Amino acid sequence: MPRYKLTIEYDGAPFVGWQRQDNGPSVQAAIEEAVTAICGEHRTVHGAGRTDAGVHAMGQVAHLDLPNPIAPEKLPLAINFHVKPLPIAVLKAEAVTEDFHARFSASGRRYLYRIVNRPARLALDRGRAWFVPQRLDDQAMHAAAQELVGTHDFTSFRASYCQAKSPLRVLHRLEVRRQGDVIEVTAEGVSFLHHQVRNMVGTLRLVGEGKWTAQDIARALAARDRKAGGPTAPPEGLYLTQVRYD
């Protein structure tokens, strides 16, 4: 069967996450229903990352096998037609070899977390950023974030119910920078634990508020205990922006 790689963006607000679940609508199920309408049979769509409920994507990647070939430039148009009016868009489709796997062939992932840091409540960014009215020290947050870069046991920054076999992860980059009222946190690594990015951002907020220091971040990491880390940032500020393949 011909295999296709899809690059997808979506607003995560209406969904229980990427993965198909019984308790509500998912991005995966919506795309699979669209594909069924196109080819007349169910085809599983395999995603590169299982984003949580409320988490968005600018560059999610998935693959699927179709019973018959279709021109790659026509596949996004067909899927996008059938997923309307849901906030999902297939940006691009590419024909790939049968050994390509959206998840297991990936060599890196990049996430963006957006914090709107101003006194005025959100209007345009409501549901798409974390609103923090108290002024945050973004430079202190960036300096403290460097304590987490590298290969570490991230037990203190993963969900207590995370099912990953190992808490060891390689974090290549954790950058905090301000652009006006918006603080952007960019995280790059091979893969991430459940809630890892949101837990790191929630903990860095403590640094931005002056409640924690870089040394506190280091101690939390060394503790290898979720209770030692800071709170979990809400999902609406998180975006999967890129999946890299070497």
* Alpha-carbon span 183 to 161, nearest angstrom: 29
* β-bridge pairing 88-96 and 46-47: unpaired
Closest CA to 158 of 95, 209, 221: 221
- Give burial (CB, 10 Å; 0-12/13-18/19+) of 14: middle
Active-site residue flag, 52: yes
- Identify the active-site residue in 52, 137, 138, 225: 52
What 146-155 contacts at long range (C-beta under 8 Å, 24+ apart), as own/partner pairs, is 146/174, 146/214, 147/214, 147/217, 147/218, 147/221, 148/174, 148/200, 148/217, 148/221, 149/173, 149/174, 152/221, 153/221, 153/224, 154/193, 154/196, 154/221, 155/224, 155/225, 155/226
DSSP SS3 for 85: coil
Closest CA to 56 of 142, 159, 127: 127
Give the 3-state DSSP-derived string for 207-226, with helices as H, strands as E and coil as C.
Answer: HHCCCCCHHHHHHHHHHCCH
Query: What residues act catalytically?
Result: 52
